[in-house]
Structure 1
Amino acid sequence: MAQIVDGTKNYEFRKYYLRPSVKRIWFYRTAPHSSITHVCETLSARMRSSGDLPLEENGLGNAEFNSRHKDWEGYDFAYKMVTVCELRRPITLKEMKEKHGFKLAPRGLVYLPKSVSDSIDLNQQKLEE
């Protein structure tokens, strides 16, 4: 997460395509945090197989994505981190279970219930620069 916050990593690489309606990626951090701590606004995926132009090689992993490095096999979707916000009050796993219907800690891809985004005013969060 630190590399996204400090701008070293400017794309999030995934093996799957997110629904077009997704405008933000909410990051759940495991123990000792066990909470959603950051939200990043993102753009639609850049894809390696669609004829998209290569990524600028100014971020961690961008060159590997472009060159199809063997360690990046399957990571065909790159989501640009447009803004990074740190939640002033992280959403704890306990709160996720009690207020938002989670049964377990999120792993991998989880589409958040609307109640989560409705509970956070992103304009009141800490915008990382």
Structure 2
Amino acid sequence: MELLFLFFPASNLSYLAIESKRSFDNPHYSLDLFVHIYYHHGKINNKKSNTDIFMSIKPEHMRNIASRSKNHEYRSYLLPSNIQRIWFYTSSPVQCIEYVAHISQGKRPGDVPEDGGIGNIEFNESLKLSGYGYEILSLWKINEPISLKKAIEEGFLKGPPQKYCWVCLEFLEKYPLDQLNQLFSTVG
């Protein structure tokens, strides 16, 4: 395996990047993209929101949330209490950020209404591995979904979110909620 050493004197910061040459063989990740990521890393992503996160979701679950047949997102972990919104990265084959949800605080089994939402009964009966449910209070659709490649190029993501990652303020400025298409809201 060949290693490539790159040194970038970027603004008032310097970066030393070590990357396997193999990553440059991927047609989606050019040397320009690599330089762009490392040049901007730290500048764009320094200022993070404390209320918004990116989170991966499977396409079928996202479809169910958008159609309102699923009204809670279930996870095995408790999100920090200050999180208000999840920007969903829909995984393969979609591979883009296309929805944002305003969510409730984490609920434990027995706290979710059994109102016909997919997975609610199983969660309340502790039949799911998930320990926390987050009610989808409002949902917006991004007018032009943001591809993974674009999110990486612009420094908003380093790759698909593995658990969750914080949204940077620059992203929120570029995609304000009042310019998105609100699909529904259960709050007054």
TM-score by length of 2: 0.60
Residue number among 68, 87, 91 corresponding to 2:142 in the alignment: 87
> Kindly tell me: are residues 126 and 76 of structure 1, through their superposed partners in 2, closer, same or farther at Cα, counting changes over 3 Å?
same
Are 1:44 and 2:105 an aligned pair? yes
Are 1:116 and 2:179 an aligned pair? no
Are 1:11 and 2:68 an aligned pair? no
AA aligned to 1:102 is L
Residue number among 28, 39, 43 corresponding to 2:89 in the alignment: 28
Count, aligned residues: 122
Could you tell me how far 1:2 is from its partner in structure 2?
Answer: 1.1
Q: Helix, strand or coil for the counterpart of 1:47?
A: coil
Once residues 140 and 108 of structure 2 are traced to their aligned partners in structure 1, the CA distance between those partners, rounded to angstroms, is 25
More strand per residue:
2
Contact 1:100/1:113 (CA < 8 Å) preserved in 2? Answer: no
Larger displacement relative to structure 2 (58-67 or 23-32): 23-32
Q: Note the residue ranges of structure 1 that are not aligned, 5 or more in a row.
A: none
Higher RCO (Cα < 8 Å, 6 or more apart): 1
Larger radius of gyration: 2
The equivalent residue for 1:102 is 157
- Superposition CA RMSD, Å: 1.6
Once residues 156 and 101 of structure 2 are traced to their aligned partners in structure 1, the CA distance between those partners, rounded to angstroms, is 22
Cα shift readout 1:53-109 (whole Å, capped 9, x = no counterpart): 53111111110011111xx12x11110000111100112212211222532222332
TM-score by length of 1: 0.85
Once residues 117 and 20 of structure 1 are traced to their aligned partners in structure 2, the CA distance between those partners, rounded to angstroms, is 19
Contact 2:156/2:167 (CA < 8 Å) preserved in 1? Answer: no
* Percent identical: 27
Once residues 113 and 80 of structure 1 are traced to their aligned partners in structure 2, the CA distance between those partners, rounded to angstroms, is 23
Q: Helix, strand or coil for the counterpart of 1:112?
A: strand
Contact 1:100/1:115 (CA < 8 Å) preserved in 2? Answer: no
The equivalent residue for 1:57 is 114
Over 4 Å off, 4+ runs = none
